[in-house]
Structure 1
Amino acid sequence: MSDLQPQPQPSSSSSPPSSFTFPPEYHFPPFFTRQRNLTTHHAQLVKWSNLVLSYCRHHRILKLSMSGTSGFAMPSPNLTLPVVSSGGNSSSNNPGPYPPSLILGEVTAGSSVVEVDTSELFHNRKLNRRLALADIRSVIDFLRKDGRAEYVSTGKKEPSEGDLAWIYWRTPEEWAGLVEAWVDATGQRGSVLTVYELIEGDGTLGTEFHGLDQELLLKALNVLVKRGKAQIFGQEDSRGVKFF
Structure 2
Amino acid sequence: MRFVAYRDEDGAEALGRLDGDRVHRLHDVRRIDHEVTSESLRDASADGAGTPLDGLELLPVARPGKIFCVGLNYRSHIAETGRELPTYPVLFPKFASNLIGHGAAITLPPESEQVDYEAELAVVIGRGGRRIAREDAFDHVLGYTICNDVTMRDFQYKTHQWTQGKAWDDSTPLGPVLVTPDELDPGRLAISLRLNGEEMQSSTTDLLIFDIPELIAVTSQFTRLEPGDVILTGTPGGVGFRRDPQVFLADGDVVEVEIEGIGVLRNPVRAEA
For Structure 1 versus Structure 2, the TM-score category normalised by the shorter chain is: under 0.3
The structure with the greater share of residues assigned to strand is 2
Whose Rg is larger? 1
Normalised by the length of structure 1, the TM-score is 0.26
Normalised by the length of structure 2, the TM-score is 0.24
The structure with the greater share of residues assigned to helix is 1
